């Protein structure tokens, strides 16, 4: 298809080349030969009268013109993809569609087992691609690389629709047989203890870390992990403590021999959201998936501790 004498297939090639900064990598991603991708780049350069990608040392860099066009190109492609993928109705028991969901290992442990159970109850034949949380997850949503984002409210984008999945709160956990197995967990004890914490990708702050900092709490952090779900096991057999989601603590309490205490300062609740691209608002498959996630969340037990 051509628009103003431009082969629109070339926009797909340009999108991949800009993202990957590589002609060969873009060719591999599009199942094309490197010579065919190089030819596509030549045609694009001629059309836009700009080199678009230039060799700088051992790597390719995009020109200012290409960088400026990137958001608009991605927006066009996402809009086209949303139109093509959309069908008048969605039958989960007949569909072979793959849905990509971005979520943390906390949501993977607490929510997704129930989601998978509901899929079985509906005899759904869809496939799920569960991808790990990133520092700025909304960027993958913007690029159309994920279908659904499940993340705390502070991390969602204001440009796309979202709904509340459920609320959770934080608790302090300690090993039942250790120093903090039977104490009054006041602020003094909390701040003086050795903490194990989860640090998100690229050293960003976890939500509870931001909440605690806003409350003026200072923790003595001795161990950092890349995973929420490992925190409960890392403190077992030690005198360390961790601040974790109450729902996660409830699941792991007996297995990891834990005791739970309220956090000694008032923290806002964790509002776990689901978000999808605005162009996929009327996609019946995405709507069905959102409903399954909401049903799964509604069936989770209440956790008070």
Residue pLDDT, tens place only, 171-197: 999 999 999 999 999 999 999 999 999
Task: Give the per-residue pLDDT at 185.
Answer: 95
Which of 67-71, 186-190, 255-259 is most confident? Answer: 186-190
Is residue 48 pLDDT above 60, yes or no?
Answer: yes
Residue 248 to residue 153: CA distance in whole angstroms: 18
Residue 58 to residue 136: CA distance in whole angstroms: 28
Average pLDDT over residues 190-206: 86
Is residue 135 pLDDT above 80, yes or no?
Answer: no
CA atoms within 13 A on the CB side of 143: 13
- Cβ-based neighbour number of residue 14 at 10 Å: 25
Residue 11 to residue 4: CA distance in whole angstroms: 13
Q: What is the 3-state secondary structure (H, E, C) of the chain?
A: CEECCEECHHHHHHHHHHHHCCHHHHHHHCCCCHHHHHHHHHHHHHHHCCCCEEEECCEEEECHHHHHHHHHHHHHHHHHHHHHHCCCCCCCCCCCCEEEEEECHHHHHHCHHHHHHHHHHCCCCCEEEEEECCCCCHHHHHCCCCCEEEEEHHHCCCCCCEEEEEEECEEEEEECCCCCCCCCCCHHHHHHCEEEEECCHHHCCCHHHHHHHHCCCCCEEEEEECCCCCHHHHHCCCCCEEEEEHHHHHHHCCCCCEEEEECCCCCCCEEEEEECCHHHCCCHHHHHHHHHHHHHHHCCCCCCC
Question: Residue 244 — very low, low, confident or very high, per pLDDT cuts 50/70/90?
Answer: very high
**Domains with residue ranges and CATH for the chain:** 2-85 (1.10.10.10), 98-167+270-298 (3.40.190.10), 170-262 (3.40.190.10)
CB 232 within 8 A of CB 258: yes
Contact residues for 275 (Cβ-Cβ < 8 A; gap 6+): 138, 141, 148, 149, 151, 156, 157, 160, 161, 162
Residue 167 to residue 171: CA distance in whole angstroms: 14
**Residue 146, token pair as written in the block:** 């994920």
Is residue 157 pLDDT above 90, yes or no?
Answer: no
Question: Residue 159 — very low, low, confident or very high, per pLDDT cuts 50/70/90?
Answer: confident
Average pLDDT over residues 116-125: 96
pLDDT digits (tens, 9 = 90+) for 4-35: 566 767 888 888 888 888 888 888 888 888 88
Question: 86 φ, ψ to 5°?
Answer: -75, 135
């Amino acid at each position: 298809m051509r628009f103003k004498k431009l082969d629109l297939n070339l926009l797909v090639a340009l999108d991949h080349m800009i993202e990957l900064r590589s002609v060969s990598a873009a060719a591999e991603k599009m199942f094309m030969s490197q010579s065919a991708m190089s030819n596509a780049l030549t045609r694009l350069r001629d059309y836009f009268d700009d080199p678009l990608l230039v060799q700088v040392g051992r790597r390719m860099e995009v020109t200012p013109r290409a960088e400026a066009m990137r958001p608009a190109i991605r927006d066009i492609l996402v809009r086209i993809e949303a139109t093509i993928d959309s069908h008048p109705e969605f039958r989960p028991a007949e569909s072979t569609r793959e849905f990509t969901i971005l979520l943390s290992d906390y949501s993977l442990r607490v929510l997704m087992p129930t989601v998978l159970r509901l899929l079985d109850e509906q005899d759904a034949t869809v496939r799920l691609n569960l991808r790990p949380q990133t520092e700025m997850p909304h960027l993958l949503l913007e690029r159309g690389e994920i279908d659904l984002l499940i993340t705390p409210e502070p991390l969602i984008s204001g440009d796309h629709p979202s709904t509340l999945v459920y609320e959770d709160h934080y608790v302090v956990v300690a090993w039942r047989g250790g120093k903090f197995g039977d104490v009054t967990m006041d602020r003094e004890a909390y701040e003086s203890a050795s903490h194990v914490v989860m640090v998100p990708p690229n050293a960003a702050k976890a939500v509870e870390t931001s909440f605690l900092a806003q409350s003026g709490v200072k923790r003595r952090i001795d161990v950092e992990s890349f995973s929420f779900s490992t925190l409960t096991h890392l403190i077992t057999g030690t005198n360390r403590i961790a601040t974790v989601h109450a729902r996660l603590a409830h699941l792991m309490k007996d297995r990891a021999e834990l005791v739970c205490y309220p956090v000694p300062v008032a923290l806002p609740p964790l509002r776990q959201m689901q978000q999808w691209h605005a162009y996929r608002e009327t996609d019946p498959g995405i709507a069905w998936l959102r409903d399954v996630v909401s049903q799964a969340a509604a069936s989770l037990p209440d956790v008070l501790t």
